[in-house]
Amino acid sequence: MELQDVLRRRRMVRRYDADRGLAPEVLDRVLAAALRAPAAGGTEGRALLVLRTDADREAFWADCAPGGGDAWLTGMRTAPVLVLVLTDPGAYAARYARADKPGPDRDAATWSTPWPEVDAGMAAELLLLAAVDEGLGACLFGIPAAAHDRLRTRFAVPAGLRLVAAVSLGHRAPDEASRSSRPGPRRGLAQVAHDGRFGVAWGG
């Protein structure tokens, strides 16, 4: 599929075809796409925790929504695969403390931008795009802070890794409508891009 087609077709899918699983080779390609994301300093500080058994997925949802859930959660539970995107801030601190990284960036504690989370987000975006390219649906969603410790214990996540987000993967349910959670229409390029200085609309 051409890149522009992938970008146009990308949507957050919140309900999946429960009767269709993912072929292992397809899942491999989607996961491998995340490895192509850029990383600050070339830091190998990201990890993917893939939950693809019924027991693991149910355990995840039980930890994240112990009281049950609404229609949104009911739809999301139909995803045959969940990918938890993690990052290792300590790896970034160690990378930038090395001699080939002189200057103020050597102390990761002073960074004004949380680059480990930014890099994790870029990896997650490539997962979303790769899913579209494979004819799948996907949705990026947050993991409740209250569930982090439970998930760490249940899935043996090392203490140094930080849970950033999750991505659900699967075939879109046949009657799943494409919809947006935005409160209004998508802004156009002239509203988002500024030419030379803020307030000068692109193309204006």
* Alpha carbon 201 to its chain's center: 30
Mean pLDDT within 149-159: 96
Least-confidence region, from 46-50, 94-98, 100-104, 139-143: 100-104
Q: What's the confidence (pLDDT) of residue 146? A: 93
Using the predicted structure, report yes or no on whether residue 16 has a pLDDT greater than 90: yes
Q: pLDDT band at residue 110, thresholds of 50, 70 and 90?
A: confident
Residue 172: CB atoms within 10 A of its CB come to: 19
Q: Which residue has the tokens 């695969």?
A: 81
Are the CB atoms for 139 and 50 separated by under 8 Å?
Answer: no
Are the CB atoms for 16 and 137 separated by under 8 Å?
Answer: yes
Strand order in the sheet with 137-141: 46-51, 81-87, 162-170, 137-141
Task: Note the pLDDT tens digit of each residue in 163-175.
Answer: 999 999 999 998 7
Superfamily of domain 3-192: NADH Oxidase (3.40.109.10)
Q: What's the confidence (pLDDT) of residue 180? A: 57
Sign of CA dihedral 157, 29, 82, 142: positive
Task: Note the pLDDT tens digit of each residue in 112-145.
Answer: 899 999 999 999 999 999 999 999 999 999 999 9
| Residue among 69, 45, 52, 35 at smallest CA distance from 147 | 69
Q: What's the confidence (pLDDT) of residue 67? A: 66
Sign of CA dihedral 100, 105, 108, 114: negative
Q: What is the dihedral of CA 179, 151, 116, 46, to 10 degrees?
A: -90
| Residue among 8, 28, 9 at smallest CA distance from 127 | 28
Least-confidence region, from 76-85, 103-112, 142-151, 186-195: 103-112
pTM score, whole prediction: 0.88
What percentage of the chain carries pLDDT values higher than 70?
94
Q: What's the confidence (pLDDT) of residue 178? A: 58
Using the predicted structure, report yes or no on whether residue 58 has a pLDDT greater than 70: yes
| Residue among 45, 49, 37 at smallest CA distance from 122 | 37
